[in-house]
Chain A
Amino acid sequence: MGKMPNACIDADNKKIVNLERTANEIRKNIIRMIYEAGSGHPGGSLSCTDILTALYFHEMRYDPRNPKWEDRDRLVLSKGHAAPALYATMSKAGFFPDKELQTLRKLGTRLQGHPSMTKLPGVDMSTGSLGQGLSVAIGMGLAGRLDRRSYRVFAILGDGEIEEGQVWEAAMAAPHYHLDNLVAIIDKNHLQIDGPCEKIMNTSPIGFKFKSFGWYVVEINGHNMIEIINALAKAKEIEGKPTVIVANTIKGKGVSFMEGNLEFHGKAPNKEQFKQAMKELGAKR
């Protein structure tokens, strides 16, 4: 456990720059779609954007033309309210056209306010009611082992979310089953709806808790692309136990007035704020 060592793989600079550029494009789409929808969760979407980018454009094995491919890696977005980040990442990865992002939260859309696997192919699990995704990811991991498939399972949880008791039932079970095909990523953005996690219900020290439950723990800066991909690479090497990546992040990352701002947990930007946000993200117009 502890800090991630300096780049344990040779950081290919060009690759990192590309990933960062992709993450920025995804951020723009997140802001656009939430503005268009008039509601949604920008804060927690922007905090896990770099993680999702690293997963979909570096780490995970999948085929957007065959979203049910049995050997694909799975992602469970347990913090389902970050759906805009998932959708923006998926469209960039080729699961559906960018244009459809504008249907977020609108009647008849495949892009529900929280992800629905029956509506949108490529979503591996329907989520929204917090605290359930890690258990589901364990089920996927157990199935992979039973079927002797080499796929891996990733679950993204919020640091507020882990106040839910079921998360700790799952935290106990994954090491019990020695699930080394499972990686949990905690998007530790330090804020939940009613205030700072430390004040509402302190979940720290998260790493120590998971370590004592039998997990391999890595703590990283969740906005540093090199650290994210190195942590994912390390998780792949670990045998006999699951890995949790505690990713320190900033809620609203990338848009100055949203960063660390509780107001934007679950609120869309107004017209002025939208323009400002897009300008900061370097949009042409």
Chain B
Amino acid sequence: MKQVLMSNRQAYGEALVELGKMDTRLVVLDADLSSSTKTSMFAKVFPERFFNVGIAEANMMGIAAGLATTGRVVFVSSFAMFATGRVYDQIRQSIAYPNLNVKIVATHAGITVGGDGASHQINEDLSLMRVIPQMTILSPADYYETKRAVYQAHNYQGPVYIRLGRAETPVIFDENYDFRFGVAQVLEDGDDVAIMAIGPMVGRALEAAKILRKQKINPMVINMSTIKPIDKSTILKAAKKCGAIVSAEEHSIIGGLGTAISEVLTANYPVPQQFVGIPDVFGESGESEELMDGYGLKIETIVENAKKAVSRKR
């Protein structure tokens, strides 16, 4: 069966225009990447509520904070590299510490950026955002979930980080999908091992599950789109039912989804966990798919790690 691919960035742009019509408080900022992040769609309809601040991300975060102090809902966008790593201090001091209503929607996260290479492939943004108090973090898997995530972020009072990639991802949900903050979705039930995935790895986890079932291993597949606050109860239920976990993320194995899951397991109900993610190295240029395959994110790698997790059960 051929997977249908859709653009999460497109979903973001559409959601902004829809929300902009309903809520005149909404303003959007970008730092000279609006055609890539799709905030250009909002800019076209609401030019007076769109601010392109030029190539000055630090200033953009500060301006966003100032706008938010007056009761506006502020969306800021850039590539994930420049929307997190470059402006960590601005996010921490001027947005998260004063708990301001700023939504940072970053595109081009992870290695699937492709040809631009390591300078633009941030595999550590989740780690950076996760350690900031009062920050909520979402990593949607597909077009429909991205749309819902943007709507939910708009409804929520406080800082939110939404992580989107450049590449299109397989469609998993539909327009009736009811995404909620902090709630992981069990996409497929099973009892031998639980595969917990985010972003483009959700599609790959579902493919891995097919292979595993053929090999008489019955996996549970969970979409963990809320990274913070993490859905502790779903993690523990899965751990108790399956006794083995595989985390799968297009992100460094240090500090992201896998780490967040293991923090919950270790403190509450330790079971074997295998980490599928990008090793502690910088990326390089290449096509998205070949980079994913070359940097530890193959479907087969999920399968192998699932088997290893099962074999480690006592």
Which residues of A approach B to under 8 Å, CB–CB? 70, 74, 76, 116-118, 124-129, 131-144, 146-147, 165-166, 169-170, 172-173
Contacts and interface: CB of A to CB of B under 8 A. Distances in A.
A173 B65 CA distance: 15
Majority SS at the chain A contact face: helix
Contacts of B172: none
A127 B90 CA distance: 10
Interface of B is mostly: helix
Interface of B: 27, 48-49, 51, 53-54, 56, 58-72, 89-90, 92-94, 97-99
Contacts, number: 102
A147 B49 CA distance: 11
A138 B71 CA distance: 15
Nearest to A138: B63
Nearest to B51: A142
Contacts of A143: 66-67, 69-70, 72
B62 A140 contact: no
Given A118-B99, A143-B72, A166-B58, A137 B93 contact: no
A131 B53 CA distance: 17
A172 B69 CA distance: 22
15 contacts: A70-B71, A116-B97, A125-B66, A131-B58, A132-B89, A135-B65, A136-B66, A136-B94, A138-B66, A140-B67, A165-B58, A166-B59, A169-B58, A170-B62, A173-B63
B70 A118 contact: no
B66 A116 contact: no
B66 A169 contact: no
A173 B53 contact: yes
A135 B49 contact: no
Nearest to A136: B66
A138 B27 CA distance: 14
Nearest to B70: A143
Given A129-B93, A170-B62, A173-B59, A140 B70 contact: yes
Contacts of A144: 70
A140 B59 contact: no
Given A116-B97, A125-B98, A142 B58 contact: no
A146 B27 contact: yes
A92 to B, nearest CB: 24
Contacts of A132: 58, 62, 89-90, 93-94
